[in-house]
Amino acid sequence: MTKQQLFEQIQKKRSFLCVGLDSSLDKIPQHLLKYENPILEFNKQIIDATKDLCVAYKPNTAFYECYGKKGWETLIETWKYIPQNIFSIADAKRGDIGNTSAMYAETFFNEKSSEMSFDSVTVAPYMGSDSITPFLTFKDKWVILLALTSNSGHADFQLQEIDGDKLFEKVLKTSQEWATDEQMMYVVGATRGAAFADVRKLAPDHFLLVPGVGAQGGDLKEVCRYGLNAQCGLLINSSRGIIYAGQEEDFAEKAREEALKLQKEMEQILVEANIV
């Protein structure tokens, strides 16, 4: 999916919502355990209930890898179930030396070898350019680079200064030498608030994947106040707040209700910004 196609989906759905599929056996409704593959059934019902309200789905691969072979099969089948006009994100946070990163890229982008071809993958930048470029060799695929995250330990490294720049600012500056805003996005946590203004100074045109709205306490309006650009430029992720909104047989309806609340709020923001 190109940047323009993603923007068109945002305009069409009046939404920039990303639903995180962080699906775990101990958190999904217990009546689903009767199915041969409970997590896949859960994911399918969540997707069916929210696909008209969101523009992206983001399975966190750790929630699938932990179940071994069956977990990988579930990840593959989940990817296949995501409609092709919805942006798919493999939240894998990979990052290693070049030849290893090349294999990670094959894992998430090459359907012939892995049975998966996500639109994008999250990547850690710590090992530098040669750990990122193998992902960029795939046409029409995206790297979503970790920049300023929402976890409590982010300040241990990301806010440390190097030659007058914070480390996350150095990541933003340097990585733009590797790819344009047509192939690279950044992860910026919703709990960072006003820091989005600093990010936008360095990356005014890039899409930002924003986790942390909802269960983690991020404020949507504050994120948009500082982070919105002319093509929206934001993918706001909500995982637990949507997918675990209900625990009974109507869990998918409850998930839809929560997704709809966010979509309506996003629609108002887009209208006020003259984006739709």
pTM: 0.96
Average pLDDT, the chain: 95
Using one digit for the tens of pLDDT, what is the confidence trace for 102-133? 999 999 999 999 999 999 999 999 999 999 99
Instruction: Identify the sign of the CA torsion 264, 146, 120, 46.
Output: negative
Catalytic residue among 3, 44, 51, 93: 93
93 has catalytic annotation = yes
The CATH code of the domain at 3-272 is 3.20.20.70
Percent with pLDDT over 70 in the chain: 98
Residue tagged 């909500």 (tokens): 238
**Strand pairing of 161-162 and 165-166?**
antiparallel
The structural domains of the chain, with segments of one domain joined by +, span: 3-272
Using one digit for the tens of pLDDT, what is the confidence trace for 78-103? 999 999 999 999 999 999 999 999 99
Using one digit for the tens of pLDDT, what is the confidence trace for 156-173? 999 899 889 999 999 999
CA distance 137 to 150: 29
SS (H, E, C) 135-201: HHCCCCCEEEEEEECCCCCHHHCCCCEECCEEHHHHHHHHHCCCCCCCCEEEEECHHHCCHHHHHHH
Please name the amino acid found at residue 244: Y
Using one digit for the tens of pLDDT, what is the confidence trace for 211-255? 977 655 678 999 999 999 999 999 999 999 999 999 999 999 999
